[in-house]
Amino acid sequence: MDHRARAFWSSGTGHGEIRDEVLPDPGPGDVVVRALVSGVSRGTELLVFRGGVPESQHGAMRAPFQAGDFPGPVKYGYLAVGVVEHGPEALRGRTVFALHPHQTRWVVPAGAVTVVPDDVPASRAVLAGTVETAVNALWDAAPLVGDRIAVVGAGMVGCCVAAVLAGFPGVRVELVDVDPARAAVAQALGVPFAHPADAAGDCDLVVHASATGAGLARSLELLAVEGEVLELSWYGDRDVTVPLGAGFHSRRLAIRSTQVGMVAPARRGRRSFADRVALALRLLADPRYDALVTDAVPFEDLPALMPRLAAGEPFAPCVRVTYG
């Protein structure tokens, strides 16, 4: 087999480069995958890119096939789709998803890949890890029929949460963001959009995904009595002020964290990680999700793209990286 590959590495100081890699010989239970597309997570990946992973979280935040250590240099990423070139007969030639960094070809255990359904294009399948995060968050939140829900933050994760919630019976869901350009994405997802100042209140549940203190404060303001904020944002090494004065106690409000690293307790005894990603891929048969992956760059342009994303230049919620 061809042992040559190329991969993107972050320095941890806001710079990145593409390096040559030498692939190991695959074992009997491995697959060799040629990359088709990967996705840039503008939350966690940009924190890694600038070296923002706290030392206390270096172990918890390791990606499954990460190379190097935080703060860097580190090969990091977890939204990858490719075609199996070598491996078990049932997988050869199949399009698969894996939690792998940006790399032209890779070798992983066969159990680490999930076959992409035939009705899900590779360009959309790259969102599987993000939709999986949304699924886990909603297993934690357990919304009820007819709930009034706001999703604050229209990035990758917030948009995927809103898209899943749009299918709940009788639910009033609104996607909230300071960027008016996200209104078009919300429309494509079939979800009403609002600026934070105009968002509907009296919410039973607010899913917060803006990764800003202002977004968290507004999330609390939007709650009804005894409502809950489900905190999906990860702030890395940044401190956030939480307004726990005023009516926080008298209105009996709650803030609860959720994170994809463990299956939500509500399903942990009956669903595995593999079940969860397979469910995410089934949900991605819905073409509405194409609205999240409208921008694409060649793999070779990643070192130039990442600083632009870190600087806040406008791009689609998920930027696709294309190979070949």
- pLDDT tens-digit series, residues 248-288: 999 999 999 999 999 999 999 999 999 999 999 999 999 99
CA distance 310 to 43: 10
Q: Provide the CATH number for the domain formed by 133-257 in this structure.
A: 3.40.50.720
Strand, coil or helix: what is 149? strand
pLDDT at 323 over 80: yes
CA distance 119 to 128: 14
| Helices 273-283 and 128-141, axial angle in degrees (round to 10) | 110
pLDDT at 236 over 90: no
By CB atoms closer than 10 A (0-12, 13-18, 19+), residue 308 is middle
pLDDT at 156: 95
CB 66 within 8 A of CB 75: yes
Q: Which residue intervals of the chain bear CATH 3.90.180.10?
A: 4-126+293-322
- For 42-59, what is the mean pLDDT? 92
pLDDT, the chain, mean: 96
pLDDT at 6: 98
pLDDT at 237: 86
By percentage, how much of the chain surpasses pLDDT 90?
Answer: 94
What lies within 8 Å, CB to CB, of 303 at 6+ separation is 8, 15, 16, 17, 18
0.75 exceeded by the pTM?
A: yes
Which CATH superfamily does the domain covering 4-126+293-322 fall into? Answer: Medium-chain alcohol dehydrogenases, catalytic domain (3.90.180.10)
pLDDT at 42: 84
pLDDT at 276: 97
- For 77-91, what is the mean pLDDT? 97
- pLDDT tens-digit series, residues 3-37: 999 999 999 899 999 999 999 999 999 999 999 99
What lies within 8 Å, CB to CB, of 45 at 6+ separation is 76, 77, 306
Q: Which residue intervals of the chain bear CATH 3.40.50.720?
A: 133-257
Alpha helices, DSSP H only, in 83-235?
122-125, 128-141, 156-165, 182-189, 213-221
pLDDT at 21: 96
